[in-house]
Amino acid sequence: MMTKKQKQVLDFITTSQSRNGFSPSLDEIRKKFKLASVSTAHFHVSRLRDIGYVTKVAHKPRAIDVISNETIVKSTPQPMEGVLNTGLVHTDFLEKIDFQIHGKNLYENLPLNKILCGDAVEILKKIPSNSIDLAVTSPPYDDIRTYNGFSLDLPAVGRELNRVLKDGGVAAMVIQDSTRNFGKSLTSFRTIIDWCDNAGFKLFETVIYRKHGTEGAWWKKRFRVDHEYMPIFLKGDRPSFFNKEPLKIPSKHGGKTMTGSGNRRTDGTTTETVTRTINSMKCRGTVWDYLNAGDKNPLKRKHPATFPDKIPLDFIQCFCPPNGIVLDPFVGCGSTMVAAKQLGRNCIGIDISKEYCELARERIRATPTPLFS
């Protein structure tokens, strides 16, 4: 819900923008409303951003931009096909978002914890700009699976994802290249370059997903492929949320005592010998290991191309704030939504196949709601 004060702040920003051509600073908002501190002004603006009324570029002065005010003409809500409510909805995110951008009808309410059946690009177009914290997905690529002949415009998906993500939001993708006549298709590299050159992202990192349990040991003329790429795309200057603590991995030599010669000085001599205990857990690098065995879930096995649930679990913990919103535009059997539900985050899923939408619903229903979120 928007409070009375937040509505007043929104009106003040709207008026200042149209009168001066730029938004007020947080300190000007504080003074105008006699707020206790700049943090209180920041809180109100963040709230307006979270419920889709303004955008704000982090670490940049006067960077608030109004994208909706109640005076904007209401749109006709579009019917949503195949909607599921997982019971996870955080009601204060169900604030009405009635507005139009470039004449497109947008969802009246952000369809939280729902699976939307249809083409990813067409459905993404209805999702309001700057409304999503994190996208985790694995697109179909190189016609490796036919998916009943559905086609896909991956460059358009990149552009729409960039639009719907909040500033500082992240899109993590799992992708590989097919091999034909001993040559790789390069789809993963082309997609990375296209999304950075044309969709507005920068490449935060490319993580290697190391797959344990992959087939191919008997291949005679090529290596067994036991990795996929996980490019992590960033919108804006820096991730607005980053918590790598839950992703730590055990240290090989944890608990042992390390004795070293200390640091080398510029004249070549070393500082005194240091002795310290090696921590049991350490920061993860850029090769992430997962068991590729269908998570032993019979429902999940009904889908031909899934990723382990642990992948979205890791990305969500690292890049999605506790009350944030996750999106998977190719939700398949629902792995991303299952992870989001387990972690108490809101999520939106899209898939073109009615069969997979139903499968995902079944999996999500069977996933218990966390006791604490």
Nearest to 330 by CA among 43, 125, 116, 168: 116
Using CB under 6 A as the binding rule, whether residue 303 contacts ligand SAM is answered as yes
Q: How far apart are CA 143 and CA 50, in angstroms?
A: 37
Q: Interacting stretch for ligand SAM, rule CB under 6 A, among 1-9, 68-76, 181-189, 325-333?
A: 325-333
One residue of 64, 350, 361, 364 binding ligand SAM per CB under 6 A: 350
Helix, strand, or coil (residue 175): strand
Residue closer to ligand SAM (CB basis): 13 or 123: 123
Is 177 a binding residue for ligand SAM by CB under 6 A? The answer is: no
Closest-approach residue to ligand SAM (CB): 332
Contact 341, 122 (CB under 8 A): no
Segment lying near ligand SAM (by CB under 6 A), choices 124-132, 144-152, 221-229, 274-282: 144-152
140 is an interface residue for ligand SAM by CB under 6 A: yes
Q: Are strands 274-277 and 325-328 parallel, antiparallel or unpaired?
A: unpaired
Burial 309-340 (b: 16+ CB within 10 A, else e): bebbbbbbbbbbeeebbbbbbbbbbbbbbbbb
Binding residues for ligand SAM, how many (CB under 6 A)?
20
Which among 7-15, 31-39, 264-272, 346-354 is the span making contact with ligand SAM, rule CB under 6 A? Answer: 346-354
Output 35 or 333, the one with its CB closest to ligand SAM.
333
C-alpha 197/C-alpha 176 separation (Å) is 20
Binding-site member from 320, 332, 339, 343 for ligand SAM (CB under 6 A): 332
Query: Does position 330 bind ligand SAM by CB under 6 A?
Result: yes
CA dihedral 309, 370, 334, 199 (to 10 degrees): -80
Which token pair is 27? 């300190």
Nearer to ligand SAM, 98 or 194 (CB): 194
Asked if residue 173 binds ligand SAM (CB under 6 A), the reply is no
Q: Does 349 bind ligand SAM (CB under 6 A)?
A: no
Q: How far apart (Å, rounded) are the C-alpha atoms in residues 147 and 116?
A: 17
Q: Which of 55, 113, 335, 346 binds ligand SAM (CB under 6 A)?
A: 335
Q: Which stretch binds ligand SAM (CB under 6 A): 33-41, 67-75, 223-231, 348-356?
A: 348-356
Among 64, 116, 135, 152, which residue interacts with ligand SAM (rule: CB under 6 A)?
Answer: 152
The whole-angstrom distance between residue 307's C-alpha and the CA centroid of its chain comes to 16
> 78 to each of 86, 98, 127, 350, how far by Cα in Å?
20, 11, 11, 15
Considering only residues 108 through 127, tell me which ones interact with ligand SAM, judged by CB under 6 A.
Answer: 119-120
93 contributes a contact to ligand SAM by CB under 6 A: no
The whole-angstrom distance between residue 329's C-alpha and the CA centroid of its chain comes to 11
Positions touching ligand SAM (CB under 6 A) are 119-120, 138, 140, 147, 150, 152, 303, 305-307, 330, 332-333, 335, 350-353, 356
